[in-house]
């Protein structure tokens, strides 16, 4: 089996791109990926196959066939191309498939990534589109939405571990701070700055973040979760280039090894799960990745996790074994998950601040770890980072992809 290395990574700015089509976002992200390769690359000549994750192009753009569309946009026709889908982990499916294609020796150089063009629909339309990742037999007929699903998870966690919504707010405050250091983030402002921006319209000012977060200007979306516990609606695309060891050396002296990968599943419906405050998908995928990489949680220098809602960052870092059960919120409050903490989480601002273009999210998280391990993350750089991890989940964590990268 061949070793697999990431030799390039690139992404669009995440946010609202009302005048750009999905195809234009693909081209923009791919061009940045090409530019990131140290010795340059001829995309049309050198790439042998491509995979792109896109959750629901049929609903956002009334368009299927995003495999050949990507191939066409990037001049890769007639080479093989596929679209992958496992909800919010759709680009993780592309990453996993591309990884195994190179590892097995079928291909030596592939392009993988993801896209979602969400702002073509209203908030109500996006909520409806995303709902197909929940159980259409047992959950959707009851009127559940994803904010509602994660609100139930939050209630279960608060009760089990005797913590409060106020305790949880350490996470969005931290995430928005990190987002101020990321030029690709959808929101590049501190929570307090955004609060005073909202308050100015009503003649209200706030002295600290919690004053704003507890105010009516941060309304309840699904109790106990409020607006700033929820990720935004986002457009964006992201890509990665994977190569076998011999080929990677032709393009760069500092390739990043894909040391371990994992995939896992959980029941789609919440009521079938033995535990509301954990996902077997993430646990299984992380064990797979740790074993393949030959590392343990304590060896990880920096991590990107799937914080679609603030409570899920807590669940994620506990499922990954980075902190003991019930101590995820405590770790955030103590500053352990901050940039200068011992387990830095979501250095780029996470889904909460950077944005969550569903199909592009996993590859976007990968971009951050790739930059961190190459020492290219700017003001949010974790000193001497050698091993990084990505944990991307789909829906209510019914699907999971975990990746461990090594410098």
Query: Rounded to an integer, what distance in angstroms lies between the CA atom of residue 364 and that of residue 29?
Result: 10
> Could you tell me which of 237, 289, 14, 242 has the C-alpha nearest to residue 112?
242
- Mean pLDDT calculated for residue range 48-70: 98
Residue 116: count other Cβ atoms within 10 Å of its Cβ. 32
> Could you tell me which of 304, 317, 286, 398 has the C-alpha nearest to residue 356?
304
Same fold, 4-122+233-251 and 259-406: yes
Q: Domain spanning 259-406 has what CATH number? A: 3.40.47.10
- Mean pLDDT calculated for residue range 193-208: 94
pLDDT tens-digit readout, 348-388: 999 999 999 999 999 999 999 999 999 999 999 999 999 99
Got the DSSP string for 287-342?
Answer: HHHHHHHT--GGG--EEEE--SBHHHHHHHHHHTTSS-TT-HHHHHHTTTTSTTSS
**Which residues form the catalytic set?**
88, 356
> Could you tell me which of 171, 145, 178 has the C-alpha nearest to residue 157?
171
- Burial of residue 274 (CB within 10 Å: 0-12, 13-18, 19+) is exposed
pTM: 0.97
Query: Rounded to an integer, what distance in angstroms lies between the CA atom of residue 142 and that of residue 52?
Result: 33
SS3 state at 110: strand
pLDDT of residue 15: 98
Can you give the residue ranges of every domain in the chain?
4-122+233-251, 259-406
pLDDT tens-digit readout, 159-181: 999 999 999 999 999 999 999 99
> Could you tell me which of 362, 323, 360 has the C-alpha nearest to residue 345?
323
pLDDT of residue 400: 99
Structure tokens at 125: 């339309």
pLDDT tens-digit readout, 238-259: 999 999 999 999 999 999 999 9
> Could you tell me which of 267, 322, 318, 281 has the C-alpha nearest to residue 300?
322
Task: Tell me the average pLDDT of the chain.
Answer: 98
Q: Domain spanning 4-122+233-251 has what CATH number? A: 3.40.47.10
């Amino acid at each position: 089996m061949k070793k697999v290395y990431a030799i390039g990574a690139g992404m669009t700015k995440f946010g609202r791109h009302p005048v750009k089509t999905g195809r234009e976002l693909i081209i923009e992200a791919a061009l940045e990926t090409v530019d990131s390769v140290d010795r340059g690359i001829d995309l049309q000549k050198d790439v042998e196959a491509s995979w792109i994750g896109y959750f629901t192009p049929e609903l956002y753009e009334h368009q299927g066939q995003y495999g050949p569309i990507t191939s066409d946009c990037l001049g890769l026709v007639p080479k093989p191309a596929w679209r992958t889908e496992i909800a919010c982990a759709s680009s993780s499916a592309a990453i996993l498939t591309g990884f195994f294609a190179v590892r097995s020796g079928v291909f030596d150089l592939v392009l993988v990534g993801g896209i979602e063009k969400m702002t073509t629909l209203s908030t109500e339309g996006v909520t409806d589109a995303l709902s197909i990742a929940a159980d259409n037999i047992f959950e959707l007929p009851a009127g559940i939405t994803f904010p509602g699903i994660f609100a139930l998870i939050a209630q279960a966690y608060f009760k089990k571990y005797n913590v409060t919504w106020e305790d949880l707010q350490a996470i969005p405050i931290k995430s928005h701070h990190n987002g101020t250091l990321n030029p690709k983030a959808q929101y590049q402002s501190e929570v307090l700055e955004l609060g005073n921006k909202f308050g100015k319209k009503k003649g209200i000012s706030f002295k600290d973040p919690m004053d704003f977060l507890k105010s009516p200007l941060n309304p309840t979306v699904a109790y106990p979760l409020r607006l700033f516990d929820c990720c935004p609606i986002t457009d964006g695309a992201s890509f990665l280039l994977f190569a076998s060891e011999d080929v990677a050396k032709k393009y760069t002296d500092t390739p990043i090894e894909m040391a371990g990968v994992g995939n896992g599943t959980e029941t789609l419906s919440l009521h079938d799960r033995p535990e509301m405050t954990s996902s077997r998908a993430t646990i299984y995928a992380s064990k797979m990745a740790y074993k393949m990489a030959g590392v343990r949680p304590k060896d990880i220098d920096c991590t990107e996790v799937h914080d679609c809602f603030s409570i899920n960052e807590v669940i994620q870092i506990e499922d990954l074994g980075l902190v003991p059960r019930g101590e995820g919120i405590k770790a955030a409050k103590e500053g352990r998950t901050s940039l200068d903490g011992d387990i830095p989480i979501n250095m780029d601002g996470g889904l909460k601040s950077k944005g969550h273009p569903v199909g592009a999210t996993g590859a976007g998280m990968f971009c951050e770890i790739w930059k961190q391990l190459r020492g290219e993350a700017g003001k949010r750089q974790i000193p001497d980072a050698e091993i990084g991890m990505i944990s991307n989940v789909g829906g209510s964590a019914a699907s999971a992809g975990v990746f461990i990268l090594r410098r």
